[in-house]
Amino acid sequence: MTRIKIMVCFFIGFLIILGTTTIYAAPNLSLIYVIQQGDTLSEIIEEYNINLDKLKKANNISNIANIKMGDELIIPLTNEQTNKLNSSDKLFSQYTNKKEELSLTINTHYAARINPGQEIPDIKNIPQNKIINYYVGPGDTLYDLARDFSTSIGIILALNNKENNFIRQGERLKLPVHNLTDHQILNKRVSKQELNLLARAIHGEARGEPYLGQVAVAAVIINRVLSYQFPNTFAQVIYQRGQFSAVGDGQINLRPNQTAYRAAREALNGNDPTNGALYFYNPKTATRVSFFRGRRVITKIGNHLFVE
């Protein structure tokens, strides 16, 4: 079996109890295995003394045939193994010959590559326009970012020319989006201002509609942003002349409720109850019904018809 390449991710959290007592959680360490050429799941399972179901559950794997070289797997540890790592004074000693110790800082997230001799991934083929700036948020880990952006921890480290693997809240990282769909890229790039505008449009157009109908309205706006037939920003799509009644009557300026924000986030995450609709209207109140004649109705949700 190819020489094992492991990463250890250190998740440090803290819990502040109201009053005078502060309790700090111990480090929670997880092993991450990078699949190498020639590896088989059966060998990995045997090496770590785990079963296939636990490995699949820990990594949300539905089809083992989709696993490929370079993918990273969380190795689920037993309580005994976890306690052994957490109680180790020299965290790297059982995996490497390094003698240094790691000083852990509260509320900081760490990822340590403990095989320094492994080959640096090739990032030359990633176009510059497929790399975005991302600011590390609370709870982010390199493993989670790699999974969210369909890449590997090694690629993230190489893109950011990092000699160590520590990431801290607020740190700016370059992350690749070349493996993501246009919808996924839009979700990664959406700003707080754009999210707020989308929520206002949902609230203005569809408050009083069922929740699924509000998600559907958000999906139509997103479909337009992604379509070559419409402008490519939320502001340009929403404020395009004559397109949304909430803009014309000023309801776009109302403060959205939490349901509108939740619907916006769900649509941004990929839920499209309309199956690609670019238009919607209420046949009872619409003044330009003739515009929709001849267009295929995809679905009806609440009072709205969603059409191509």
Residue 173 · residue 136 · CB < 8 Å: yes
Q: In which band, very low, low, confident or very high, does the pLDDT at 224 lie, cut at 50, 70 and 90?
A: very high
pLDDT at 16: 32
Question: Tell me, which fold does domain 6-180 have in CATH?
Answer: Membrane-bound Lytic Murein Transglycosylase D; Chain A (3.10.350)
pLDDT at residue 153 tops 60: yes
How large is the average pLDDT for residues 173-181?
87
How large is the average pLDDT for residues 279-285?
85
Kindly state the tokens that stand for 51.
Answer: 């079963």
> Which pTM was predicted?
0.60
Most confident of 155-164, 167-176, 203-212: 203-212
pLDDT at residue 286 tops 50: yes
Q: In which band, very low, low, confident or very high, does the pLDDT at 108 lie, cut at 50, 70 and 90?
A: very low
238 contact partners, CB below 8 Å, separation of at least 6: 197, 198, 201, 221, 244, 247, 252
Sorted by where each begins, the domain ranges of the chain are 6-180, 187-307
How large a percentage of the chain has pLDDT more than 90?
22
Most confident of 8-12, 115-119, 152-156, 275-279: 275-279
Residue 185 · residue 270 · CB < 8 Å: no
pLDDT at residue 268 tops 70: yes
pLDDT at 105: 46
Most confident of 12-21, 163-172, 174-183, 207-216: 207-216
pLDDT at residue 13 tops 70: no
What CATH architecture does domain 187-307 belong to? Orthogonal Bundle (1.10)
Q: How far apart are CA 197 and CA 256, in angstroms?
A: 9
How large is the average pLDDT for residues 98-124?
50
User: In this structure, which long-range contacts are made by residues 117-120, counting pairs with CB atoms below 8 Å and at least 24 apart in sequence?
Assistant: 118/5, 118/34, 118/154, 120/154, 120/158
